[in-house]
Amino acid sequence: MKIKAEFNIKYIPILIAGILIAISFFFYQNIAIMGNLILLAAIIGAVPYAFFSYFEFKKIRSIEDQFPLFLLDLSEAQKIGMTLPEALRQVKKTDYGKLTEEIDKIDYQLSWGVPTQEVMSNFAKRLQKSKLIGRVVRIINEAYSSGGDIARTMEATASDITAIKEAEKERKSVTYEHMLIMYAIYFIFIGIVIGLSQTLIPLMNLNVNSGVTNIMSFSDPCQTCSTNPSINCINCYVFSVFCQMFSINKSCYYYALFLLMAVVQGIFSGLVAGQIGEGSVTAGLKHSSIMTLSGFGLLLFLLKAGMI
């Protein structure tokens, strides 16, 4: 029996985002509309994908947590004389949380006469994002094909998985504070950006209004690009489009730079927070979404409200 490829719901937002980006090009003459459609597409495509990926990650972790109990019950069933297929059908009566759905699929395939090793391989393929379960299934299949003591193998494997999970929980409790520090660092960064906007921008405007030009003065680096364009002006053109997207009419260079810095910092700080706190970059997508949306949204709100 072959496992059919299932369409993952998390790709639907990406498809919608692609359609929005395609539609946005019909408004190429109006940069504001085009830019906001692209921004909306980015949010629709990235945020749901991040959270769906995180929910998948949590489901896999939940299944891995229940897997040792499943192996121990299989081992006990075989000790009383059951074969592996009989033991698999027997444990179906037990509730293993998220793992129960997979056990039902195993029982269904066995009832149709699918070979036990193939059933276990299909189980591992469905949970291919879990390297732990994949390794355990290979061990079980090897023991089953070689005629070894499967019950004892399962007991030892369950004990090893439990030890690994306990170590992961201990590591998570230790690194949780470090994850919170990443959030603190990001929002301190946002505070610094707000502080700079309250000091740097007024100084630049003061220099422009008073006509002061010296080594300590501040000015818009893109001013010369209008009269003397060069390859170094590429970022100025990008910032200009960005300002048109969000109707930023003052100090375009600096405000566009601050907003884009908030996005870049939020994305990578979130990924690092996920790796530190939960040992997975996939989990970091959730943190990236939270940081980026909150930081970017806060700066844009303050800018539109005239507070920065």
pLDDT at 219: 63
Domain limits for position 258: 172-308
Same domain, 85 and 198: no
pLDDT digits (tens, 9 = 90+) for 261-275: 999 999 999 999 888
Q: How many structural domains is the chain composed of?
A: 2
Same domain, 178 and 90: no
The burial of 191, by beta-carbon neighbours within 10 Å (0-12 exposed, 13-18 middle, 19 or more buried), is given as exposed
- Distance of CA 4 to CAs 89, 126, 253, Å? 23, 10, 51
Of 89, 113, 148, the one marking the end of a domain is 148
Q: What angle do CA 20, 13, 97 make, to 5 degrees?
A: 175
Same domain, 176 and 303: yes
Same domain, 49 and 185: no
pLDDT digits (tens, 9 = 90+) for 149-158: 788 888 888 8
Same domain, 18 and 132: yes
Same domain, 142 and 245: no
Q: What are phi and psi of 230, to 5 degrees?
A: -155, 180
pLDDT at 207: 56
CA distance 51 to 280: 14
pLDDT at 179: 87
Q: Is 137 a residue whose pLDDT tops 80? A: yes
pLDDT at 2: 44
**b/e for 275-289, b at 16 or more Cβ within 10 A?**
bbbbebebbbbbbbb
pLDDT at 86: 84
Q: Is 190 a residue whose pLDDT tops 90? A: yes
pLDDT digits (tens, 9 = 90+) for 58-83: 888 899 889 999 889 888 888 888 88
Structure pTM? 0.71
Lowest mean pLDDT among 30-44, 159-173, 261-275, 294-308: 30-44
